[in-house]
Amino acid sequence: MTPRCYMLAVLAAACILTLLCSHGAPVSPTGAHLMLCQSHTRCGSKFYDPQQHCCYDDAVVSLGRTQKCGNCTYRVCFEQCCPWSDRRQETFVVKVKGQKCFLALSSDDRVCSSVS
């Protein structure tokens, strides 16, 4: 092949790669190999698609996964259950994930009493 043919081959490969990435490759990984152009994040040793899952307690879980927090239910990918000091009874507060549990209550927080 002449140098001109090499340049055309490289240019063609770059165009194909650009087309694949701009339209997005399939989202599901095949086996242990990830498809090109996917936005995946790691959770321990596993990869996951952050538009469908999150990493919770070192496990990949669905974005819709919920868990109990006292008498409330919270979304584990977006919220957290915090123990809260109330002298009358054991109380919990659901806060937005990333907020410190010891911070004062805000309008986004939900107070949940314990389940006896």
Q: In 1-116, which ranges are E strands?
A: 41-43, 46-48, 53-56, 59-62, 66-69, 72-75, 79-84, 91-96, 110-113
Residue range 57-98, pLDDT digits in tens: 999 999 999 999 999 999 999 999 999 876 677 899 999 999
pTM above 0.75, yes or no: no
Joined tokens for residue 54 = 């999150």
Residue range 25-67, pLDDT digits in tens: 445 555 444 455 556 789 988 999 999 999 999 999 999 999 9
